[in-house]
Amino acid sequence: MAERRWSKFCAGCGKRSEELYEGLCKECVLSIFRVEAGKIKLPDLEVRVCKHCGEFFKESGELADLKSIVRDAVSKKLKAAAKGMHAEFRGVDVEIEEFKRWGADAVIKLNVRFRGMELQERRPLRIKFVRRTCGRCSRISGGYYESIVQVRADGRTPSDDELISVETIAYSALGNGPRDFISKVEQKKEGIDLYVGSIEGGRKISKSIVKTLGGKISESKKLYGRKDGREVYRVTFLVRLPKFLRGDVIELDGKVVLVERVERGVTGLDLDTGSRVFLNEEDVRRASLVSNRERAESAVLMSVSGDEIQILDPKSYETVTLKKPPFLRKKAGDDVLVVRAKSGLKVLPA
């Protein structure tokens, strides 16, 4: 076997090595790094936590997660320390090991390139929680707002279910920014008003409501004051919910329609012909409400013969003969749902 030849010698310890880092072997580089890294002292870190909402926040008042706050604070110190070690700072990893009543225990991993080697230094860190009030909660408690979302309905009063949906949608639409909040909710006879911490937040809420419940948005702005030499406005978003809802039965020019979809008009089912129809916004304005599924009456289907059916009127108990709707699949003796239009009883699809 040929004798293995060494051609590299460590300038530090004199040992032969197949790979050197700036003239030093791996063991010497690690030894120097440990000495230099040992000079880095990490004092306990104080992190603000809101005593109202429990969220962590930076000195600026901006909400943030605990790891990012710790990473930013420690990185500033370690970047300077790395320069003193003549090392290239590559970043910091943060591991939260245990939350405690007073704070948390964490491990900081400093990643550097030192004398051509990729190295990592692990250090324990104690994090102390300082309870303060974040800027977001401070604004909320002070009733701060930049926009108002007014929710109304076209030609009617919004239902309780709609108003509950509106509040759920509103809170879901907001993010976690310093002005993403609703400072006040006012119930009105004609609807609901939401006071929102930012103009963009009010716009997001309005769009989300219309996307889910339908309707239209209009906005107006009012000069509120001046700040830093510029005019400051408050914006009111008026969300007008549709005149009709899914499940309503409406009548227009003798045509009775079950509303199936509301979006820039009404798409529904003609209860006489069984065909799908579309009513534009002008048609919708002229249409009138007959009833809806919730208020429909239960009636007995007495007979089905060819194109005709007979129904027992649930009020007069008289037998009424009607044209058989194309969508009817029930048999004599079954119950059906009916509504009363100007032209008489109309059967609803099952």
pLDDT for the residue numbered 121: 79
pLDDT for the residue numbered 338: 95
Cα-Cα end-to-end distance for the chain? 92
* CA atoms within a 13 Å half-sphere pointing along the CA-CB vector of 288: 6
- pLDDT 10s digits, 211-246: 888 889 999 998 887 777 788 889 999 999 999 988
- Region 267-293: what's the mean pLDDT? 92
Crossing angle for the helix pair 199-213 and 160-173, to the nearest 10 degrees: 130
The pair of structure tokens assigned to 181 is 């909040």
pLDDT of residue 8 exceeding 90: no
Question: What is the percent of the chain where pLDDT is above 70?
Answer: 97
Q: What is the mean pLDDT of the chain?
A: 88
pLDDT for the residue numbered 233: 87
pLDDT for the residue numbered 1: 42
pLDDT for the residue numbered 2: 47
pLDDT of residue 30 exceeding 70: yes
- pLDDT 10s digits, 77-132: 777 777 767 777 778 888 888 888 889 999 988 888 887 788 887 888 899 999 99
pLDDT of residue 61 exceeding 80: no
CATH 3.10.450, domain 26-134, yes or no: yes
